[in-house]
Structure 1
Amino acid sequence: MKKSILFICLLSFTYFEVSAQTEFILEPSQSMIMTGKGIGQDATINPYFGEDCYGVVKNIRDRLFIIRIQQTGNVIEEIPIEKGEIKKVKLLKGYELYLDPNPKGLAKARVDYGKILD
């Protein structure tokens, strides 16, 4: 019985650790790389680094901002995200996820990742 409870606790802890969300304030003059450059160089910890995954971005403030997907300096896609909107973007291995600010004021984002299930 004790082992079962311990296992459930550890499983819950692992789930919350992997699905931890991170919030960022985007100032009008700075673009932020969220993931793609490697461990220690990214703003978020992507638990699926080195494999295809989803990036889940939510706009948690009043201003629109842009999600930018790049690979080796080439822009793959730019996606506007409105107030309160959630966007789920496919990040293939080698893709970089950027958040580009709104030049009219502060924006705020929450970033999470999800495994691609075949």
Structure 2
Amino acid sequence: MTFDETKTGNERSGTLNWMSPEQYLTPNLVTRKSDVWSFGMTVWEVLCNDIPYKDYGPYEIPEAIVSDDERPRKPKELSPHLEPLWTLITMCWQVDPADRPFAADIVKYLKKHYGSELRL
């Protein structure tokens, strides 16, 4: 990723591959729910060791997310132990920000499914 792929200033704020749909529709609209979307992308990145939308150009990413409702794919060989994590990722990727979990809910969810393994 280059510095050019990160947008700041009056135009738009965020890193294109991790930005929520509402950030494309309303530049500079960054809310806690936008951060939850980005958190889901980051968890996917770590889980898959890949960059979301890496094969898309900067003008294709917003179209894929907003118009085509595309999301990164679930790993083919996901361990059953990680299924709750995939569910959490998809919860974070809800189009309507109101349907995404709050950060506190994410922590509760992770503690519920990964309890003793989780260190926050």
TM tier, smaller:
under 0.3
Normalised to the residue count of structure 1, the TM-score between the two structures is 0.27
**Structure whose CA Rg is larger:** 1
Normalised to the residue count of structure 2, the TM-score between the two structures is 0.26
Structure number having the greater helix percentage? 2
